[in-house]
Amino acid sequence: MATTNGVKECVPPQLDNLLKLDPYLEPFQGEIKRRYNVFKSILKQLETEEKGLDTFTSAYKHFGIHVDPKTNAINIKEWAPAARAMYIRGDFNNWQERQYPFTRDEWGVWRLTLPPLSDGTPAIKHGQIIKLLIEKPDGQLEDRLCPWSRYVQRAEKSNTYHGVFYNPPADKIYKFKHPQPKKPERLRIYEAHVGISSWKGEVATYENFRVNVLPRVVRQGYNTIQLMAVMEHAYYASFGYQVTSFFAASSRFGTPEELKELIDEAHKLGLTVLLDLVHSHGCKNTVDGINMFDGTNGCFFHDGPRGYHDLWDSRCFNYMQREVMRFLLSNIRYWLEEFKFDGFRFDGVSSMLYHSHGIGHAFSGTYNEYFGLATDTESFNYLQLANYVSQTLYPESITIAEEVSGMPTLCRPIAEGGAGFDYRLAMAIPDVWIKLLKEKQDEDWNVGDITWTLINRRWSEKNIAYSESHDQALVGDKTIAHWLFDSDIYTHMSVLAERTPRVERGLALHKMIRLLTYALGGEGWLNFEGNEFGHPEWLDFPRAGNNDSYHYARRLFYLPEDDTLRYKYLNAWDQAMNACEEKYKWLSATNTFLSRRHEGDKVVVFERGDHGLLFIFNFHTNKSFADYRIGCGRCGKYKVVLNSDSKSFDGLGRTSDKQVFLTEDIKWDERPFSFNVYTPCRSVLVLALTGDVN
């Protein structure tokens, strides 16, 4: 414990380790210590004032509307500090306004107990519509949904949602049967949206995903699913990012019990399940959201300009307000405990970390940007708390930050003064690929720049690499497949159709782009559903601008199952990449050596992993190279383990999958050994060491 100006200072116990990893952080250790001090101070307050973290994060068990299992009385507890009065009404009392008034305590918490009926049953029946009636500071009465609602539904012939009393009989509550998997050492993530996971023009269900999509994810070789848009959102076209009910699993896909069954089935299949968690902002809706819940601009959010996100047209949380902290940290525990999610992808972390929300902020990478006044350190402290809750209560849980600025320490342990995330998304990578496809001719691609983007990440802070995600699939943008195949994706993807130069190029580069990103770009891999086989349609949710059409809010999973279509080859390549990673485990390797980035030849060569895994990419548009010398770090015999030019992946078959290569004691590209290969244009070979040569 250090002392500064007579004030005790709590130093992160492993700060020295952080500074050894990155000496450039030395001038900023004072700010790192300050942030850590605030974090520890909050924990101490929760321990002394809230009976500890366990009790504090269990608030979802007593806030909101609950039935006492012993008496069937209904206990209701809400926080609305500025409200003048509060009532509950609904189907159960014919919507009478002031029949059931709440009482308020000094902290702005309102309570009400509804005794059971004369027959001993709860006063409100399962499935009945209910709402809270709030008397605002100006005396007006307005209906609100309970912020802790477990289930809300869209009102008939309306665009707004109403609260539903969720109290199913005991025999209808899903009971988990399968243990949760241990935290995977290497994440291969299948990013998916339940509602679009069908070929039909409709909102697909949890049941459909469980029955039809989970087996596909397993067949493709992924070990993790990241579910989007689960937290309830009134506007379907928001893709789930305008959350209105933070504790409610979206009813448009089914019931909470059906979501639990989906997750349990995923666990049975060995899959880890992550939730796309939106704590970066909240929807502005008042009728069916938590905005202005007590009749003021504050309550859950900052009052004034700080409480508004102009670009997203949403509200920004006041993270250090005790009841907001209780609400959000309990929300984390709720999804981990009640639904057995295995962790989270935190949405919009960059927006949280900066007072500008990153709008118009071109991050240069200088450390002053991260440790100066531009940073919203209250949000940083909240993220520390969020990760601490996950890691302390559920040590096997995983957290991923959607963060583009590259803030140092974000993915370092809290004990070092970091935020505690396991991974961050490598968000710069998709932008590079789209920019190349959109603005550059193939012969002008700079392989040095491409590979630099892929390896340019903070040492010892793990990244999830991806060549494209849901962002690139949305209407207004184009997927990599769209950029490559253009209109031929609709007319020439049949194996019976002409193999046009555009199709030839598209097939080759789609495979190469994905594998180069996968193999070099991070310590995890992510794919958005459908992109694995070059889905031919973008993603557009029903909205006024498309006459509420569901035509593009779907995934055509039958395409790769059709033997007459070339999508099956891209799908097979995706399976093969995952199988190769599973066998050779390159994502967890730290010994990557990039030996060749030849601009004239457009050849990239690198080694990664403990199995002598050697990647040889030839991005040249028309030049194939015979007897091309490749350097390597280990001597021995190498075999082909993955070949994009193989006919099994709709390649041209210019190289044999059966070839082996014997190293020579010739130094090459700063490597002690080398050998010659034939590397066809627009192809990638992956070789693995099969044995040492004496």
Catalytically active residues are 347, 402
* Ramachandran category for residue 295: left, alpha or beta (phi over 0 → left; psi -120 to 50 → alpha): left
DSSP symbol at 166: -
Of 463, 464, 465, 431, the residue nearest 449 (C-alpha)? 431
Let me know: does 102 contact 86? Beta carbons within 8 Å: yes
CA angle 603, 604, 606 (to 5 degrees): 150
Q: Evaluate the CA torsion angle 358, 472, 343, 334 in order and state its sign.
A: positive
Of 60, 58, 98, 99, the residue nearest 78 (C-alpha)? 60
The pair of structure tokens assigned to 402 is: 């959607």
CA angle 488, 200, 216 (to 5 degrees): 80
d(CA 130, CA 112): 14
Number of Cα atoms under 13 Å in the Cβ half of residue 384 = 27
**DSSP H or E run through 597:** strand 593-598
Let me know: does 133 contact 143? Beta carbons within 8 Å: yes
Pairing relationship of beta strands 423-425 and 463-465 according to DSSP bridges: parallel
Of 469, 485, 442, 514, the residue nearest 686 (C-alpha)? 514
Of 18, 16, 11, 14, the residue nearest 460 (C-alpha)? 18
Let me know: does 501 contact 508? Beta carbons within 8 Å: no
Q: Tell me how far apart the terminal alpha carbons of the chain are, to the nearest angstrom.
A: 56
Of 151, 204, 230, 214, the residue nearest 178 (C-alpha)? 214
d(CA 635, CA 666): 10
The pair of structure tokens assigned to 129 is: 């519509």
Residue 591: CB atoms within 10 A of its CB come to 10
* Ramachandran category for residue 38: left, alpha or beta (phi over 0 → left; psi -120 to 50 → alpha): alpha
Of 224, 212, 220, the residue nearest 181 (C-alpha)? 224
d(CA 496, CA 503): 13
d(CA 62, CA 83): 20
3-class DSSP state for residue 592?
coil
The residues near 222 (Cβ < 8 Å, ≥ 6 apart) are 188, 189, 190, 271, 527, 578
The pair of structure tokens assigned to 641 is: 């383990």
Q: Evaluate the CA torsion angle 195, 201, 207, 211 in order and state its sign.
A: negative
Q: Which residues pair with 375 in a beta bridge?
A: 354
Let me know: does 614 contact 638? Beta carbons within 8 Å: yes
